[in-house]
């Protein structure tokens, strides 16, 4: 083959290659060969509320009505037996994916609140209402032996509830424990006198409260000495402190050791007990359950007749090691991220499947849109948002929504910051930064 022949052969080969390339490209073009486009983006970040006077206090975020946010700050009394106790929030029994839950489950040495500040913030920046509710005198008079303290914002008032522990010794020297569950409603001025919800000798009582958009419930359960079967009940108030109704609760709802963790989602009560989790209607009739939440840092959402959750799982592989990883003879030095768990989204009903949607170090919240789920999560020092379809399959990538906020909110034992959603394509992710309430809005196409 001479040189012209070689050149001709090369030209023919080039033409053949180009033809093969075109043949590939044609069907792709017909399919609409378009570049990746992130469906969601951070569209806005606004300060909804800021008050330097609240700096240093620890707050809790809750989902409020009409897309608003409730920010609750608690001031503790510092006198008597609790002197020196740090002003800090306590484990939040009701801070799930949504709800107006109270707080409770505190130990005997926990501080006694003197007042609760509620900031009711709307979606509009600067539009907020701040109210102060003084704790009932009966509660403030306590110097110790007080557990299960809860302060539940009902929309107009705050329902305070607590369990007073007592002991007495029989003439024969036997020591008995007693408990009294009391509650009182504070309307912002003087509190109504405390009432007894349940009291008993030789028993223990645990309690928790939650306010739905219709009524406020004070749940309790306990166990009598010498008996294995626990007792329980619920005080339903509508409005709080005025119409009071004692109603029985189903046996599965009664957990003697710890009170149920309650949250609201789409008008349904979600109760998490040691035996599993349940979805109940407003009249406390069981709708779904029990189901066992998977993983850790679980955030719940309810939709389409099923409970859904976002949670963290220890990865089955090291693929999710987000930071400081060393790959063979290759090292990544300080990638600025320590999130190393699989972030899962799944349905809890029988046969429900779960899908991994990212890698994360904490779940911040999950919301249900129209045919979508939005999940906010943290990975190391950054916060992200991920969108999925109704089947849980992820759409697009992680949307970086900024640095992590208010780690103190998350440091108290797995509490999650509530995030609110409004509209099918806009997700408002509200977080507390110091004494400011920040809303990060993610808009999706």
Which residues would be at the binding site for other proteins (CB under 8 A)?
A: 1, 3, 5-7, 9-10, 13-14, 17-18, 20-21, 24-25, 28-29, 31, 33-36, 38, 315-323, 325-337, 342, 356-359, 379-380, 382, 384, 386, 393-398, 400
Contact 39, 445 (CB under 8 A): yes
Min dist CB 403 to other proteins, Å, is: 11
- Residue 97's closest CA among 274, 297, 243, 292? 297
Contact (Cβ atoms closer than 8 angstroms) between residue 437 and residue 47: yes
Count of residues in the chain:
445
Give min distance, CB of 365 to other proteins, in A: 18
Cα–Cα distance between 80 and 70 in angstroms, integer? Answer: 31
- DSSP assignment string, 26-45: HHHHHT-------SEEEEEE
Least distance CB 418 / other proteins (angstroms): 24
Which CB sits closer to other proteins, 86 or 329? 329
Taking the complex as a whole, how short is the minimal distance between the CB of residue 360 and other proteins, in angstroms?
Answer: 10
Q: Which is nearer to other proteins, 396 or 414 (CB)?
A: 396
- Toward other proteins, which CB reaches closer, 95 or 360? 360
Enumerate residues 6+ apart whose C-beta is below 8 A from 267.
212, 213, 282
DSSP 172-216: TS-EEEEEEEEEEEE-SSSBPPPEEEEEEESEEEEEEEEE-SS-E
Nearer to other proteins, 130 or 356 (CB): 356
By beta-carbon proximity to other proteins, the closer residue of 33 and 143 is 33
Among 383, 422, 375, 388, smallest CA distance to 406 is for 383
Closest distance of CB 386 from other proteins, Å: 7
Residue placing its CB nearer to other proteins in the complex, 152 or 361: 361
CB-facing half-sphere around the CA of 14: CA atoms within 13 A: 6
Q: Residue 78 burial (CB < 10 Å; 0-12/13-18/19+)?
A: middle
Q: Report the residue number, 279 or 399, with the smaller CB distance to other proteins.
A: 399
Q: How far is the CB of 421 from other proteins (least distance, A)?
A: 21
Q: Shortest CA distance to 214 belongs to which of 183, 253, 240? A: 240
What is the spatial distance between Cα 291 and Cα 296, in angstroms, rounded to a whole number?
A: 15
Phi, psi angles (nearest 5°) of residue 199: -140, 155
Q: Which is nearer to other proteins, 84 or 331 (CB)?
A: 331
Terminal C-alpha separation, the chain:
60
The residues facing 270 across adjacent strands are 263, 279
* 29 or 129: CB nearest other proteins: 29
Residue 440 CB, nearest distance to other proteins (Å)? 17
* Cβ atoms of 62 and 95 closer than 8 Å: yes
Smallest gap from Cβ 6 to other proteins, in A, equals 6
- The three-state secondary structure class of 238 is coil
Gap between the Cα atoms of 62 and 162, Å rounded: 21
For tokens 């906010």, name the residue: 376
What is the smallest separation between the CB atom of 334 and other proteins, expressed in angstroms?
5
Q: Decide whether 169 or 317 has the Cβ nearer to other proteins.
A: 317
CB 416 within 8 A of CB 95: yes
Q: How far is the CB of 342 from other proteins (least distance, A)?
A: 6
Between residues 30 and 251, which has the closer beta carbon with respect to other proteins? 30
CB of 24 to other proteins, least distance (A): 5
């Amino acid at each position: 083959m001479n040189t012209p022949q070689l050149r001709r052969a090369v030209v023919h080969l080039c033409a053949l290659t180009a033809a093969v390339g075109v043949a590939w490209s044609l069907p792709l073009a017909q399919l609409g060969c378009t570049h990746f486009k992130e469906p969601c983006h951070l569209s806005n970040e606004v300060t909804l509320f800021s008050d330097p006077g609240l700096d240093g206090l620890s707050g809790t975020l809750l989902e409020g009505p009409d897309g608003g946010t409730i920010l609750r700050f608690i001031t503790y009394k510092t006198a008597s037996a609790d002197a020196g106790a740090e002003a800090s929030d306590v484990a939040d029994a009701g801070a799930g994916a949504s709800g107006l839950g109270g707080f409770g489950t505190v130990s005997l040495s926990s501080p006694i609140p003197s007042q609760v500040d509620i900031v009711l913030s709307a979606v509009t920046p600067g539009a907020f209402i701040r109210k102060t509710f003084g704790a009932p005198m009966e509660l403030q008079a306590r110097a110790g032996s007080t557990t299960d303290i809860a302060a539940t914002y009902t929309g107009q008032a705050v329902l305070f509830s607590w369990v007073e522990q007592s002991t007495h010794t029989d003439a024969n020297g036997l020591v008995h424990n007693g408990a009294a569950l009391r509650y009182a409603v504070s309307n912002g001025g003087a509190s109504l006198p405390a009432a007894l919800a349940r009291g008993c000798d030789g028993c223990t009582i645990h309690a928790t409260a939650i306010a739905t958009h219709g009524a406020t419930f004070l749940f309790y359960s306990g166990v009598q000495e010498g008996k294995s079967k626990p007792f329980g009940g619920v005080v339903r108030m509508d409005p709080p402190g005025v119409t009071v109704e004692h109603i029985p609760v189903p046996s599965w709802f009664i957990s003697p050791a710890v009170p149920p963790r309650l949250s609201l989602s789409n008008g349904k009560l979600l109760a998490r007990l040691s035996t599993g989790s349940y979805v109940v209607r407003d009249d406390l009739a069981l709708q779904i359950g029990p189901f066992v939440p998977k993983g850790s840092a679980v955030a719940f959402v309810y939709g389409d007749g099923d409970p859904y959750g976002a949670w963290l799982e220890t990865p089955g592989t090291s693929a999710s090691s987000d930071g400081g990883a060393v790959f063979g003879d290759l090292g990544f030095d300080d990638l600025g991220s320590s999130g190393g768990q699989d972030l899962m989204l799944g349905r809890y009903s029988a046969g429900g499947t779960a899908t991994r949607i990212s890698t994360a170090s904490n779940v911040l919240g999950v919301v249900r849109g129209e045919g979508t789920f939005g999940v906010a999560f943290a990975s190391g020092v950054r916060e992200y948002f991920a969108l999925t379809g109704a089947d849980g399959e992820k759409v697009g990538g992680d949307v970086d929504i900024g640095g992590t906020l208010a780690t103190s909110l998350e440091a108290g034992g797995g509490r999650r910051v509530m995030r609110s959603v409004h509209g099918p394509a806009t997700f408002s992710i509200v977080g507390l930064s110091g004494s400011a309430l920040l809303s990060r809005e993610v808009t999706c196409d």
